[in-house]
Amino acid sequence: MIKAGIIGDGYTAAELLRILAGHDQVEVAAILSTENVGRRLDEIYPHLTGFCHLKCEESKVENLIGRCQVVFLALPHGLSVNIALTLLEHGIKCVDLGADFRLKDVSLYRKYYELEHGAPEMLERAVYGIPEIYREDIRKTDLVANPGCFPTSAILPLVPLLKEGIIKGEGIVIDSKTGVSGAGRTAKPASHFCEVNEGIKAYGVGTHRHGPEIKQELSLAWGKTVDMIFTPHLVPMNRGILSTSYAQLNPGSNPTTVREVLEDWYGNEYFVRVLPPGTMPHTKWVYGSNFLDLGIYTDPDSGRVILVSALDNLTKGASGQAVQNMNLMLGLDESKSLRWAGVHP
């Protein structure tokens, strides 16, 4: 068995443990924590009873060296850089679920995360971890920057159309709704039940940290800087993201080519499901799964393209995609331990 380690004990770490409990070639050997040292994981997360018997160990990178071949860094931004450097020096592959290696422009990292990057020379080494776009690069790397949940929901629908020249790179609007688990397990006033229940609100308008991440990948696909707006909203549900992306057809593009291109790109992809005409995604259909569901509408009169995507923010938006990336890095079947349907209703 290949041995894996996890640094962090929040929701994404718990989701990693849930997913990897069904992996027949990878076993979690250790999980590091700062607040729960000595506590069993199934005490912190009772749903893991019978699936995980590990105790949280002190958050020292030395506790993983010699015990693991791959490590998931499920940490807040700013904490992964030095740890990843040490692990890589010891030949341990890393999947960073935080934001420290996602942005290639260090000035954007400084602006949006209000930190100086600890190893800017590592940004080119890291591969942005959307397998459906960067699969071959992921196979060859030892450091994956696991994408944010909102970016995954926007990049997968839009990149093929930008790359093929079907839509304009100007005037793109991305409107996203997310469940409360995206805020993490740490208690915050804005995510208290009374603050969230029976309401919906926009947040991070014009300033959300996932905005430059989306813009980076869309611009790479288009070949020059895109003009886009991204606005996230918080809705009273536990898990899930629904993103609606609006774009305009390029002059001369046939409305039918939108579906043709997306079906061609994703027809052989297991985890991206292009839904039939007239069907739009529901977050409940992907709940607990590693799927992204994609609905398509093109107005033949105005040339307006509307793409609706749904994913689980903790699975395809975080830990499921991290396991997908790990499988590729280790030369395993990409879908190992991820082939299950969403939980519905």
Domain ranges of the chain: 2-125, 150-313
User: Do the beta carbons of residue 306 and residue 242 sit within 8 Å?
Assistant: no
- Give the model's pLDDT for residue 202: 96
| Of 184 and 319, the one with more pLDDT | 319
- Give the model's pLDDT for residue 193: 87
Q: pLDDT by residue (tens digit) across 168-218?
A: 999 999 999 999 988 777 767 878 888 889 999 999 999 999 999 999 999
Of 130, 6, 116, the C-alpha closest to 67 is 6
User: Do the beta carbons of residue 19 and residue 323 sit within 8 Å?
Assistant: yes
CA 164, 282, 291, 214 dihedral sign is positive
Main-chain dihedrals φ then ψ at residue 183, nearest 5 degrees? -80, -5
**Is 150-313 in CATH node 3.30.360.10?**
yes
Q: In this prediction, what percent of the chain has a pLDDT beyond 70?
A: 100
Select which of 52, 56, 94, 149 is catalytic.
149
Name the pLDDT band for 225 (thresholds 50, 70, 90).
very high
Q: pLDDT by residue (tens digit) across 253-292?
A: 999 999 999 999 999 999 999 999 999 999 999 999 999 9
Q: pLDDT by residue (tens digit) across 17-34?
A: 999 999 999 999 999 999
- Give the model's pLDDT for residue 262: 98
Tell me what the pLDDT averaged over the chain comes to.
Answer: 96
Of 115, 151, 116, the C-alpha closest to 132 is 151
Q: Whose structure tokens read 């699969």?
A: 135
Residue 194: active-site member: no
For the whole model, what pTM was predicted?
A: 0.95
Is 42 a residue whose pLDDT tops 90? yes
**Is 2-125 in CATH node 3.60.40.10?**
no
- Give the model's pLDDT for residue 74: 96
Is 92 a residue whose pLDDT tops 80? yes
- Taking the C-alpha atoms of residue 60 and residue 188, their distance in angstroms, rounded to an integer, is 27
Same fold, 2-125 and 150-313: no
- Give the model's pLDDT for residue 255: 93
